[in-house]
A and B are shown apart, each in its own frame.
Chain A
Amino acid sequence: MPLAYAPKVVTASDLLAGDVIYLTADDQWSRDMSAAEVITDEAHAQLRLLHAERQTSRLVGAYLADVSPGLNGPAPTHFREDFRATGPSNYAHGKQQDAQNV
């Protein structure tokens, strides 16, 4: 039996700011992973990635990252994506600090 396709989000770095961005279902780019489109179909994932990769003047290095869907939106399954979504863990001065200031 084939393995189930692990849910994905499309993520990249913003060309101008360099920070982490996620593709939303309505073709916007969000800095918040919880707003990202969760993709559960492999073919659809490839199409969404191609869509992202064409936006060369908006972003750099688009790829698909594994996530686990939850009530508050997708959450990272790998620690690297966790740090990208949250910020450095040595002290709060990345996105976690921005969230505190909202």
Chain B
Amino acid sequence: MPMASNRMRKMYKYSEFDTAFLAARNAQFRDQVERRIDGSLTEDEFKPLRLMNGLYLQLHAYMLRVAIPYGSLNGAQMRALADISERWDKGYGHFTTRQNIQYNWLALRDVPDMLDALASVGLHAIQTSGNTIRNVTSDPFAGAAADEIGDPRPVAELIRQWSTDHPEFQFLGRKFKIAVIGSKNDRAVIRAHDIGLRLVEQDGAPGFEVIIGGGLGRTPMIGKVIRDFLPRADLLPYLEAVLSVYNLLGRRDNKYKARIKITVHENGLDAIRARVEQQFALLRPGFSGVDQTLLAEIETAFAPPPLRAFSQDRFDAAYKADPVFRAWADTNLTAHKDAGHAIVTISLKAHGETPGDASAAQMRLMADLAERYGYDELRISHEQNVILPHVHRSDLPALHGALKQDGLATANIGLISDIIACPGMDYCALATARSIPIAQQIATRFDELKLEHEIGPLKIKISGCINACGHHHVGHIGILGLDRAGVENYQITLGGDGTADAAIGERAGPGFSAVEIIPAIERLVLGYLDLRDTPDETFLQAYRRLGAAPFKSALYPDLQREKAA
């Protein structure tokens, strides 16, 4: 389909080339699956092929990780995700910290049919695994946020097209993650990515701040600015230069030292910058401007929706009369660039439920509501929630009423029960401990205490192993699950931050057993309530003002008593 068909659309639609490429790729994988089943391929031969197509073999079944490009979906796509979950899985999907969706209970023979079903709505699972450039992530509020200088999604789409099946970068030393944002406020944790890009302007000219070498995992590092300002037209050759330098210089002798963060750390930012600039000078002339023509075409696909303008009386009346609606509006809405609209975050963190899971019925409801009230746009956040980026304020009472019908109206965004949790040992073959049940218990406990809103903004992030898919390093309270001599053990980190002031949390002390961890978190949070200056001082602000010591005292009262004795 020619690019012109994208005009007046709100998201990118596949071209004829895209459609043909995906069909060929899916046919190729179908053949690979058949050859594995008939014994022509060994598992050692098949494994890298299935991983390139997002297919893992996990603890209980095959798992397919489907890319949601920069977290953007329309209603038809969300409905297709629901249909797939019912036809080939157990009727639900799990939205992840990388804006993907994972299906956990698959049979191998079904996967090629699933991929064809995904392709029919412009989705795929390519490069959601393997040592290659992964799904590009972005701000879930892109195109709607009041604080953005530009919509980062066209750039993310350009990078997606450039990186998909890029012949030079299919066998990198390790996986490579890129995130793009368009505002000063960072809602995509760009400083914890291999490359983070932020749209900026210099003397009225558009460009990017380029950050490299961030990452969590075994060796957490905050990314460093390699370029304050990169002109917009230089983006792809510069990315290609960074990737080329990493591909040659990055270590391949030790997988734990193979990410670009280690390459930057071991060689030094200045040395890496010099090499990148040298490579960039070589590559730049090869980019004749076709990429900019393509970017301009892509931008037409992201035209803002035709926002309506009329009275907010219905919102004002409901806000005044209905305390449940008011609590939800206070917590789950964010300012839109248009004062008549709001950005709605739908919580997938109902107390006691699995963070990030949505049933087929819930996915269909969200698709319907996006079409009815949200200009047919949905986003998935890295915090495992679903966003309706453009909802007129007059529609919010009706939207809230509909969400309540299916357990989607929990008023907890940014609060203690809005927990990021990786799948952990309940599903993941790499995990060393469970994370989901810990999140469930914390949410349930603080719901019982009815303290959630009094505590205020507090981000708890839980990982079930050192790979840190649950982003525990950047949680205000981070929890890392480990296997200590055959028993689950949970380490706590304090003071992490995934925003523009990114910081890696500091380990608090000895770990806790699965039985001890919930009371420990309760002591810590109640301790914070005693420590804060005013009800407006957040956990993170109090931690930064006071340092770790009083929080450790709350966590480890026995150690304090021993010291005092």
Q: Smallest Cβ distance from A80 to chain B, in angstroms?
A: 6
Quick check: B426 and A17 within 8 Å, CB to CB?
A: no
Instruction: Kindly list chain B residues whose C-beta atoms are within 8 Å of the C-beta of A61.
Output: 43, 57
Chain A residue nearest in CB terms to B59: A84
Contact size range, A: 20 to 34
Q: A56-B42, A89-B437 are in contact. Are A16 and B60 (CB under 8 A)?
A: no
User: How many residue pairs at the A-B interface have CB separations less than 8 Å?
Assistant: 67
Quick check: B440 and A18 within 8 Å, CB to CB?
A: no
Q: Smallest Cβ distance from B220 to chain A, in angstroms?
A: 25
Q: A79-B486, A90-B354 are in contact. Are A56 and B108 (CB under 8 A)?
A: no
- Whether B425 sits at the interface, judged by CB under 8 Å, is yes
Quick check: B486 and A16 within 8 Å, CB to CB?
A: no
Q: Is the interface of B mostly helix, strand, loop or mixed?
A: mixed
Q: Smallest Cβ distance from B447 to chain A, in angstroms?
A: 17
Q: A77-B486, A79-B488 are in contact. Are A88 and B60 (CB under 8 A)?
A: yes
- Whether B90 sits at the interface, judged by CB under 8 Å, is yes
Quick check: B486 and A83 within 8 Å, CB to CB?
A: no
Q: Smallest Cβ distance from B105 to chain A, in angstroms?
A: 8
Q: Which of B36, B107, B108, B425 interacts with A83 by CB under 8 Å? A: B425
Interface size on B, residues (CB 8 A): 29
- Whether B61 sits at the interface, judged by CB under 8 Å, is yes
Measured CA separation A84–B36 after assembly (Å):
24
Measured CA separation A18–B488 after assembly (Å):
25
Q: Smallest Cβ distance from A89 to chain B, in angstroms?
A: 6
- Whether B461 sits at the interface, judged by CB under 8 Å, is no
Measured CA separation A76–B436 after assembly (Å):
21
Instruction: Kindly list chain B residues whose C-beta atoms are within 8 Å of the C-beta of A60.
Output: 43, 57
Q: Mark A17-49, 1 if CB is under 8 A from B, else 0.
A: 111100000000000000000000000000000
Which residues of chain B from 43 to 87 have any CB-CB distance to chain A below 8 Å in the complex?
Answer: 43, 57-62
Quick check: A88 and B43 within 8 Å, CB to CB?
A: no
Which residues of chain B from 108 to 131 have any CB-CB distance to chain A below 8 Å in the complex?
Answer: 108-109
Instruction: Kindly list chain A residues whose C-beta atoms are within 8 Å of the C-beta of B229.
Output: none
Q: Mark B408-444, 1 if CB is under 8 A from A, else 0.
A: 0000000000000000011100000010110010000
Which residues of B are at the interface with A, using a C-beta cutoff of 8 A?
A: 36-39, 42-43, 57-62, 90, 106-109, 354, 425-427, 434, 436-437, 440, 483, 486-488
A sample of 18 more A-B contacts (CB under 8 A), given A84-B59, A88-B436, is A16-B37, A16-B108, A17-B107, A20-B59, A20-B60, A56-B39, A57-B39, A60-B57, A79-B483, A79-B486, A79-B488, A80-B425, A80-B483, A88-B426, A88-B427, A89-B436, A90-B354, A94-B60
- Complex A-B, nearest 9 residue pairs according to Cβ-Cβ distance, in ascending order: A88-B426, A18-B61, A18-B62, A57-B39, A90-B436, A90-B354, A60-B43, A16-B108, A17-B107
Pick 9 A–B contacts, CB within 8 A, sort by A.
Answer: A17-B108, A56-B39, A57-B37, A57-B38, A79-B486, A88-B436, A89-B426, A90-B426, A93-B90
